[in-house]
Copies of this chain bind each other. A is one copy, B any other.
Amino acid sequence: MPAQTTGPDRRTRTRDATSAEIKATARARLVAAGPAALTLRAIARDMGLTAPALYRYFGSHEDLVGAVCADVLEELTAALSTGRDTVPLGDPLGRLGATCRAFRTWALGHREEFQLVFASAGAGPTMPPTMPPTISPGSVDGDRKGDLSFGVVFLGLFAEIWHQQPFAVRDITDLPPDLVAQLQRFSAYVGDVLPLGVLAAFLSGWVRLYGAVTVEVFGHLGFALGDPEPMFELMLADMARELSTPRISSGT
């Protein structure tokens, strides 16, 4: 055992530890009292420090919040993965359903975190930085330590479904040219490993899932449904049905 092979400096180790403690304390406040409670001074107070001390670890309040957001997203991705792996590889549609349910369950169980991450316009963490340039078609390894966004989990699932049970997809000539142009951009970004119709189905599904979960967590559905779960299940059934009509002809 030749000591630790260039293990991180002792200094940087303790530094990372306090940095993590700060984020943990912030997280605790977040779940306890909502995003508004994420104040620099209160966090410092909670861990027996004064506010300026935190500036040794984060450049600003916004930076700290951003770091917490990143942690939350990583955790969400993990929750989605474990939810997905509840169902065996042989049932990709079931895996998609399980992942969608995991998304909703996580959001309802972590409303404050969800609001922090998803209820932001510009400042919020849009996906681009976390979206990997390429996704391998068949392999589902994916999760190399959470440095890739939860969006990839869903895209990977659509790849699984497509490769195992090709579903009916819109003919490319049916789609309006401006949509095709947008999809080609995205396809190139993702590595050109899936037909444009599959990407359209993925995006459409992502929007539906996002909308269903967001509208429920934000309470913008309470006017109609006391318990939106049955409606959510109906949506999942719709999605599964659309993704299970067997493919017949047409080119990629």
Contact = CB atoms under 8 A, between A and B. Distances in A.
Interface of A: 111, 115, 118-122, 124, 126-128, 131, 151, 175-176, 178-179, 181-182, 185-186, 189, 199-200, 203-204, 206-212, 214-215, 217-231, 233-235, 238
A111 B115 contact: no
16 contacts: A119-B121, A119-B218, A124-B220, A126-B220, A127-B224, A128-B222, A175-B234, A176-B234, A181-B230, A182-B225, A182-B226, A186-B225, A203-B225, A204-B235, A207-B212, A211-B215
A205 to B, nearest CB: 11
B219 A179 contact: no
B122 A234 contact: no
Contact of A210 (B175, B214, B224): B214
Contacts of A120: 119, 218
Nearest to A111: B121
A128 B219 CA distance: 10
A234 to B, nearest CB: 6
A124 B231 contact: no
Nearest to A225: B182
A228 B186 CA distance: 11
Contact of A179 (B179, B214, B234): B234
A234 B189 contact: no
Contact of A223 (B128, B204, B225): B128
A203 B234 CA distance: 11
B186 A203 contact: no
B231 A182 contact: yes
Given A214-B214, A235-B204, A235-B207, A222 B179 contact: no
User: Most chain-B Cβ atoms within 10 A of its Cβ — which of A175, A179, A212?
Assistant: A179
Given A126-B220, A179-B234, A210-B214, 8 more contacts: A118-B218, A121-B219, A122-B219, A182-B230, A182-B231, A185-B226, A203-B231, A207-B235
